[in-house]
């Protein structure tokens, strides 16, 4: 399988509803909750790409472009954007959809770096 095919096959998309228990006093999604969801999607994407034990080592610049209101549907999309020797970088975007209206818009995006590790927690080749 080529690197491009591997990247395409690992692309991950998850939909979630934004319920009141995940929002702040402005009735918008907590930033920390958004980051948690993004890290989870990034982890799934990285694992699907490498099929190895992957751990988050950093998150780079997470930009919150639009507030995400309660009662919205969000789509989180993860895609591998860089592959190194023992690490890879995943870009995650969160799109907002209103439940009862057409259209969607980008609300948040950021990058997460993962390292492949062995059973002794030592870095290993990201592609076997």
Could you tell me if 117 and 55 are in contact, meaning their C-beta atoms sit under 8 angstroms apart?
yes
The C-alpha atoms of residue 47 and residue 22 are separated, in whole angstroms, by 26
Q: What pLDDT score does 126 carry? A: 97
Answering whether pTM is above 0.85, one says yes
- What tokens were used for 72? 């919205």
pLDDT in tens, 36-93: 999 999 999 999 999 999 999 999 999 999 999 999 999 999 999 999 999 999 999 9
- What tokens were used for 100? 């009862």
Q: What pLDDT score does 128 carry? A: 84
Q: How far is CA 33 from CA 29, 40, 108, in A?
A: 7, 11, 12
List domains and CATH numbers for the chain: 3-116 (3.10.129.10)
């Amino acid at each position: 399988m080529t690197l491009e095919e591997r990247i395409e096959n690992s692309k991950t998309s998850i939909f979630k509803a934004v319920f009141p228990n995940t929002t702040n006093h402005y009735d918008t999604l907590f930033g920390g909750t958004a980051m948690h969801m993004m890290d989870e999607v990034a982890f799934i994407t990285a694992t699907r790409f490498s099929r190895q034990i992957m751990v988050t080592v950093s998150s780079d610049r997470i930009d919150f472009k639009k507030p995400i209101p309660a009662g919205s549907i969000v789509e989180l999309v993860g895609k591998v954007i860089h592959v190194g020797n023992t690490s890879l970088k995943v870009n995650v975007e969160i799109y907002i959809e209103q439940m009862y209206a057409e259209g969607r818009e980008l609300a948040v995006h950021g990058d997460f770096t993962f390292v492949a590790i062995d059973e002794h927690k030592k870095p290993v080749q990201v592609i076997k």
